[in-house]
Structure 1
Amino acid sequence: MQEELLNSVVKITKTRDIDSLEYSLASTIHEFIHCQKIAVYKDLQIPDKLVVERSVALEEVSDKEFEWYERSIISEPDNELISCLQSACTITVQSVDGIERRWVPISIQERPVAAIAIVSKQMSSGDQVLLNAFCRIFENYLTILHENERDKLTGLLNRHTFDRRLKQLIERQVVKKHKSVRSADVRKLHNDATSWLAVIDIDHFKQVNDKYGHVCGDEVLLLLAQQMKKFFRSNDLVFRYGGEEFVLVFEPTHFDAMNNRMKEFMELLKNTKFPFVNNLTVSIGMARISPYDFPITVIEKADKALYFAKEHGRNQVRFYEQLLADGEIIEPDVEDSDIDLF
């Protein structure tokens, strides 16, 4: 038993990203503490509102079978879950049939950020101690990973995390395409909703730093990051890519909806009062994320669209595919490319 526990701790701390850590925790708790269901709920830290995501869920179907559920936003969280996230206290509710529901808070720097939800028959004292130990190990390691994945100034995901997340997204799209797409559906796929990548660059940001100093520049970056967190959907990923450049990865949507949303965001910035800056604008380059793209290819396409926007007046959003179709930019032939694949 002791050897198995040590191996489980090794397995939990072997992971290098938060998603894998959550899956490892859920499977470990299920292995050592008999429970009917275990789930990880996260507060997505959206300013001024509570948005809860169920990032991992594992349910026992029979004695030897269990089922994983995909991540999803919880539209109406249980009151006990909300209380757990707000109070950072463990909450336990037992029904008349002996089924116990328990919510264990997970905190980073004394701030509750998640809750582990367990559904089981009444736990023994030994199982409760074990559950608490697993949750504290998870909490400690989550703190380390969180610091490694986040930009220290804005709290957004950092560039290192972007590379991995985009690669994972493309891999998931490949799996979905193999499951659902037939050769006759290719034309339909082109017109369907797809994921998008945006590169956002603050116009004339160097002038802000030169005129008002880097402290003011940092305040501008911080306020812009907060506005992005508020405006975009909780499922959309927002990264600080470097300096005054940000990258966003969007859930599947159609071109018109994506175009309108980005224009609404630019209008929001137009009406936002930034410190010392009267009129802050951004230029945006957009590109589709296709299942068989290389991550570097997607970012290069969005960068080309961004460069076009900045060269043609700034304060605008441009889509790579539209520029290509209109002949505004020319896609290089693979044979003429300077990139060495091997």
Structure 2
Amino acid sequence: MDSLLKHMVDMTGHRDHAMLDISVISAVQELARASQARVLTIANVRGQLFVRPRAAVGAGSPARMVELADPSNPGEPIASFPALAACIARHESNADAIDAEGNHTLWMPIWIGDKADTCLEIVNPTPYTSDTIHTIGGVVSVYRNFQNLLDYSERDSLTGLLNRKTFDDQLAKMLHSSGEQEAVSLPPGETERRHHHEEEKQWLAVVDVDHFKHVNDKFGHLYGDEVLILIANLLQSSFRAQDRVFRFGGEEFVVLLRSTTLENAKKIIDRFRINVEQHDFPQVGKVTVSVGFTSISAYDAPVVVLGRADQALYYAKSHGRNMSCHYDELVSSGQLQTIESNDTAEFF
């Protein structure tokens, strides 16, 4: 009982999803005496469900977050886990299976309404008793409730996107990740790998809905809100699962793109812009967006990164709208001058 209470105190003391994940798998691994416990993400990619690990802990080893070697990889198809797939399809609270080595795997989806995008996986060489499942179920309930509280504090109430308050923490993590990548040293002669590594960067894009004031003035704020909700949906469907999308307020959105090349960043951003251009918004008709984006470097302050993306956005807005503009290309072509202050930004 003391161990269970200790884990409950630890879990509810965090204000960060990653640390909450670490706490819950540490708790279930110890309480179930499991050989391994993982937090899995269940991602819906173009109508297909995929499973990928988010955090893991083994007996005798510390819990850790799991970083995929290829961030664009959505994971394994859920069909690779038949018992879990059936559990999700039937909206059940748990499922178990025995593998070829005789290990027992217990899956416990985290249901929020009728959706489960997180699942706990516990592996044990022996069967689970009803008492163990009951105890772990209690831990899962606390985890789900606290995850809900974190989601509520981190998300915009209108669109469901991550909010401005959450952005600062996410950008700091990306800057730290970018710094670690830039610090990687490769042996002499591995120029091809170095070139590939230098091409893949983190990116920040600022999105602004064109002529949004006109939408509100002509159709009213209810239709304006519907436009923002639909734009948010298009952002989520157009960008990748590992990217992060935020609403900054009003008609402004920000996207953090993880580990991709300039060419891919352009394709992903333009895919979103074209999806908006081709979408038929009820009553309003056609709506377009302008985008400014820039690469993220660990050597730049967050205000500088935001300022550069916003300068590129300002250029797009003042040169015809419905465009996406890359800050560095605008500077190298002489269409923008390098300024480190955020003179055009509306964020501060």
TM-score by length of 1: 0.87
- Is 1:12 aligned to residue 11 of structure 2? yes
| 1:101 corresponds to | 105
Q: Measured at CA, do residues 269 and 292 of structure 1 come closer, stay the same or move farther in structure 2, by a change above 3 Å?
A: same
The amino acid of 1:101's aligned partner reads: T
Percent of pairs identical after alignment?
A: 32
1:56-98: CA deviation from partner (whole Å, max 9, x where unpaired): 12234xxx34674624432322122223333331111235754
CA distance in 2, matches of 1:221, 1:196: 23
SS in structure 2 at match of 1:107: coil
Q: Measured at CA, do residues 208 and 52 of structure 1 come closer, stay the same or move farther in structure 2, by a change above 3 Å?
A: farther
Correspondent of 2:215 among 196, 208, 212: 208
| 1:262 corresponds to | 269
Are 1:269 and 1:280, in contact at CA under 8 Å, matched by a contact in 2?
yes
Are 1:102 and 1:119, in contact at CA under 8 Å, matched by a contact in 2?
yes
Q: CA RMSD in A?
A: 2.7
Structure 2, gaps ≥5 residues long: 69-73, 344-348
Structure 1, gaps ≥5 residues long: 338-342
- Is 1:151 aligned to residue 156 of structure 2? yes
1:300-327: CA deviation from partner (whole Å, max 9, x where unpaired): 1111111111112211111111112122
The amino acid of 2:89's aligned partner reads: Q
Name the stretch that deviates more: 43-52 or 26-35.
43-52
CA distance in 1, matches of 2:67, 2:85: 18
| 1:340 corresponds to | none
Name the stretch that deviates more: 8-17 or 37-46.
37-46
1:111-260 alignment, distance < 5 Å: 111-120=115-124, 121-180=126-185, 188=195, 191-260=198-267
SS in structure 2 at match of 1:111: coil
Q: Measured at CA, do residues 93 and 31 of structure 1 come closer, stay the same or move farther in structure 2, by a change above 3 Å?
A: same
SS in structure 2 at match of 1:127: helix
The amino acid of 1:312's aligned partner reads: H
CA distance in 2, matches of 1:155, 1:45: 17
Per the TM alignment, residue 117 of structure 1 is displaced from its structure 2 partner at its CA by 0.9
TM-score by length of 2: 0.86
| 2:31 corresponds to | 32
Q: Measured at CA, do residues 146 and 289 of structure 1 come closer, stay the same or move farther in structure 2, by a change above 3 Å?
A: same
- Is 1:284 aligned to residue 291 of structure 2? yes
Per the TM alignment, residue 151 of structure 1 is displaced from its structure 2 partner at its CA by 1.6
1:143-167: CA deviation from partner (whole Å, max 9, x where unpaired): 1111111222222111111111111
- Is 1:87 aligned to residue 90 of structure 2? yes
Per the TM alignment, residue 180 of structure 1 is displaced from its structure 2 partner at its CA by 3.7
The amino acid of 2:86's aligned partner reads: S
Q: Measured at CA, do residues 217 and 46 of structure 1 come closer, stay the same or move farther in structure 2, by a change above 3 Å?
A: farther
1:4-36: CA deviation from partner (whole Å, max 9, x where unpaired): 322211110111021211111112222332112
Q: Measured at CA, do residues 107 and 234 of structure 1 come closer, stay the same or move farther in structure 2, by a change above 3 Å?
A: same
- Is 1:301 aligned to residue 308 of structure 2? yes
Are 1:85 and 1:114, in contact at CA under 8 Å, matched by a contact in 2?
no
Per the TM alignment, residue 189 of structure 1 is displaced from its structure 2 partner at its CA by 7.8
SS in structure 1 at match of 2:232: helix
